[in-house]
Amino acid sequence: MTCTCNREELLRHLQVAARGLSTRTSIQVLAGIQLAARDGELHLAATDMELSVRTRLAAEVEADGVAVVTGKLLLDIVRLLSGETVRLAFTEGMLSVTSGESTYQLNAFDADDFPQLPRPGGDLVSIPGDAFTATVQAVSRAASQDESRPVLTGVNMRIASDGLTMVATDSYRLSTRTTPASVDLPEAITAVVPARALDELVRIVDQAPATQLALGISEGHALFGIDDTWVTARLIEGQFPNHEALIPKEFASEARIARAELLEVVNRTRLLAQRNSPLRLAFADGQLTVSARQQDVGAATETMAVEYQGEPLQVGFNAEFLRDGVQSVEEDVVVLRLVSPRDAGLLSGEDEGFRYLLMPVELRD
């Protein structure tokens, strides 16, 4: 394999491919990026067996071929090279990387050991890129980090002709967002996709903003296409909780709060809500008092004006979870509906396209 390509373009595509590199496996080849030169292009691929990324760029190909080398090291070298172009030449188990007066030689893995990656296929639908990324960013933080319940580490994704709905929960909070979008789809697609894969996809889209994103479900995988890049994620099997059944239908009280001010207050008072100490939200007519205290450290109290309907009520929430919910509301006003200090509260914007169900924390006086 021998080819030459623009250094900046190579760097950009290596950064994309590196999103698929494995960092938690003893299988060495999964730390590698596959380089394949053919038909005037250099194809890059990486996978950790759950997530795979493939992308391609224009190149002057002198000889077709395939090589697999340590991805992070190659990325770091190309990032620091000073030449305008990079020449890659693979012979006798070594990849030579040349740019200007600089030459590096990297040992290669056996290319036959690199896994076969799922190929894009089947029916694909087109989704507005900004709608997709906004929906992922609103819900993915609520996905569980506990691998003992794999289905909760994923995001339940439903795409229908009228738009996109995503749901995530870790049993302590539940986040759901519906984003209207015009999708040419005869019937709805539903799948549980790893939250990590969706987060990586958002980062890739941020690197190369796309107006449209192609999506398909094939043989247990979700496939996402952005320009010359494809991201493939293994679907999670299992029954995702029925989120609509978990959201209360009636509430005893409702508060309408300025989002920016509430976020500032939560960010400040949570400094005293560490070590599992909750934030206390005390509602009364026209007023919200947010407080936190930590034994042997100190206490914080802030008061702000709100629109409140209901009897005076005090409830406790995990400070980090509450902050995540407020951050995910895109409107100027946050609406918080409550049943009692012992029941989950529902946080949303005024249009309720985004809903965030949050379990309370018991308050100990």
Residue of higher predicted confidence among 7 and 203: 7
Q: Give the closest residue to 175 by CA, choosing from 133, 144, 142.
A: 142
Mean pLDDT, residues 260-269 taken together = 96
**Closest to 358 measured CA to CA, from 328, 329, 338, 334:** 338
Supply the DSSP symbol for 327. H
pLDDT of residue 120: 67
Q: Is residue 212 over pLDDT 90?
A: no
Q: Higher pLDDT residue, 209 or 182? A: 182
Average pLDDT, the chain: 91
> Across residues 248-253, what is the average pLDDT?
94
DSSP letter for 166, please. E
The reported pLDDT for the residue numbered 131 is 83
**CA–CA distance, 146 with 126 (Å, rounded to integer):** 32
- For position 130, what pLDDT does the model report? 84
Dihedral class, residue 271 (left if φ above 0, else alpha if ψ from -120 to 50, else beta): alpha
pLDDT confidence band for 210 (50 / 70 / 90):
low
Cα 322 to Cα 278: distance, rounded to the nearest angstrom: 10
Each residue's pLDDT tens digit, 90-136:
998 999 999 999 999 999 999 999 999 887 666 778 888 888 888 99
Residue 5 above 70 pLDDT? yes
pLDDT at position 118 is 80
pLDDT of residue 56: 95
Buried/exposed code over 157-177 (b: 16+ C-beta within 10 A; e: otherwise):
bebeeebbbbbbbbebbbbbb
Q: Regarding predicted confidence, which is higher, 188 or 29? A: 29
Specify the DSSP class assigned to residue 119.
P
Per-residue pLDDT for 186 more than 80? no
Q: What pLDDT is stored for residue 291 in this prediction?
A: 95
- Segment among 28-42, 111-125, 149-163, 221-235 with least mean pLDDT: 111-125
Query: Given a cut of 80, is residue 311 above it in pLDDT?
Result: yes
**pLDDT score at 268:** 95
pLDDT-derived band at 70, boundaries 50, 70, 90: very high
Provide the percentage of residues in the chain whose pLDDT is more than 90. 73
**Residue 205 confidence (pLDDT):** 82
pLDDT score at 208: 65
Q: Which domains does the chain have, with CATH numbers?
A: 2-113 (3.10.150.10), 125-243 (3.10.150.10), 247-358 (3.10.150.10)
